[in-house]
Amino acid sequence: MDLEAAANIGEALSGLAIMFTLLFGLRQVLEVNRNRRFEISQTIANSLENPLVQRGFANLGRIQPGMTLQEFGEMPREDKDAINAVIVLMANHAVMTFNRNLSFDIVASFYRGYLPLIGAGLRHVMHLVENAYIHHEGSAVSEENGLGTNHWVFWLLDRMGETSNPAEYKPHLNQTEWRP
């Protein structure tokens, strides 16, 4: 074997080594992304399992559109705290989704099942509370700036309302072909 053939073989082998290194790196990136999605999903699931959040969901499901601020104020402190926990949690998830720290698809998949139960009550309570702050003299909340936490929840609710995934509705009926 002459020197030129050996150099060509060496160059080809180094090219293959680079190619395998790139493929391994790509595989590592894909694995990191898969693990990140799992961790995000687990974090959201754990936060929704919180008994205070679950109590908030139950309370929001009972709120009627005609509820007044006075009626809301007469609710037990624990119930109002539970509703607030849902609002804060959803606002946090909305901000993280907006900044692309959380996947919208994952967040929406977790919340869409709750929306028929809590959506109307949640919106109504947030409007009641925001209006109370706007009309309170000592508050810095105004019509222009609103109550920021609530508006992140409105943003998330609106985005979920704009998008739907029929595959997520009644998966026990619509996903019978799915296999592990």
**What residues does each domain of the chain span?**
1-38, 50-174
Longest CA–CA span in the chain (Å) reads: 94
Round to whole Å and give the CA distance between 128 and 70: 10
Contact between residue 112 and residue 89 where contact means Cβ atoms under 8 Å apart: no
Distance CA 43, CA 104 (A): 14
Share of the chain above pLDDT 90, in %: 42
**What is the C-alpha separation between 136 and 75, in angstroms, rounded?**
20
Return the pLDDT at 74: 94
Torsions phi, psi for 89 (to 5 deg): -60, -45
Does residue 138 register a pLDDT over 90? no
Of residues 165 and 50, more confidence is placed in 50
Mean pLDDT confidence for 56-62: 94
